[in-house]
Amino acid sequence: MNKVVNEARRWIGTPYRHQASCQGVGTDCLGLLRGLWRAQFGAEPEVLPAYSRDWDEPQGEEALWRAAHRHLRAKQLGAEAAGDVLLFRMRQGAVAKHIGIAAEVGAGASFIHAYSGHGVVESALAAPWRRRIVARFAWPDRG
């Protein structure tokens, strides 16, 4: 089994808390990614500034996408693998600002994410979610 997926599943049930990143206590979608990074590599690669719930929307900037390119390896959308980081655009024309981790691929595809009102859950990667994916990333290779 994929170690990223195993670690992400340990976070399931963690309540949703904006800007948090503490397993079992609270996290948002970026906080989940941060926690998975710490579990794999130790210290986070950069310090995050405080961000609002509508971050980057007024400016139309893709800060999350740019950060993903700095620290993760971009993949083709169709090159699915468990453990991939998925970046979602929740509304057409909006910035991409939701993140999930591919848990299962293929016929029973699913992903793990922290979702407002639900906490960390594993959701089916059904068409309504799949069509919102704008980028897929692999974790960096680190010794």
- Higher local confidence (pLDDT), 54 or 100: 100
In this structure, are residues 138 and 73 in contact, taking their beta carbons and an 8 Å threshold?
Answer: yes
Which pLDDT band, with edges at 50, 70 and 90, does 127 fall under?
Answer: very high
Write out pLDDT tens, residues 4-56.
999 999 999 999 999 999 999 999 999 999 999 999 999 999 887 766 666 55
pTM: 0.92
The predicted structure's pLDDT at residue 54: 61
Least confidently predicted of 51-55, 56-60, 113-117, 126-130: 56-60
pLDDT for 111 equals 98
pLDDT number for residue 69? 92
CATH entry, 3-138, from 3.40.50.300, 3.90.320.10, 3.90.1720.10, 3.30.450.40: 3.90.1720.10
Average pLDDT over residues 110-124: 96
Tokens of residue 2, six digits: 């994929």
In contact, 122 and 111? CB cutoff 8 Å: yes
pLDDT per position as a tens digit, 49-91: 766 666 555 566 788 888 899 999 999 888 899 999 999 998 8
Buried b (16+ CB within 10 A) or exposed e, 58-86: eeeebebbeebeebbeeeeeeebebbbbb
Long-range contacts of 19-23 (CB under 8 A, 24+ apart): 19/50, 19/51
pLDDT at 91: 85
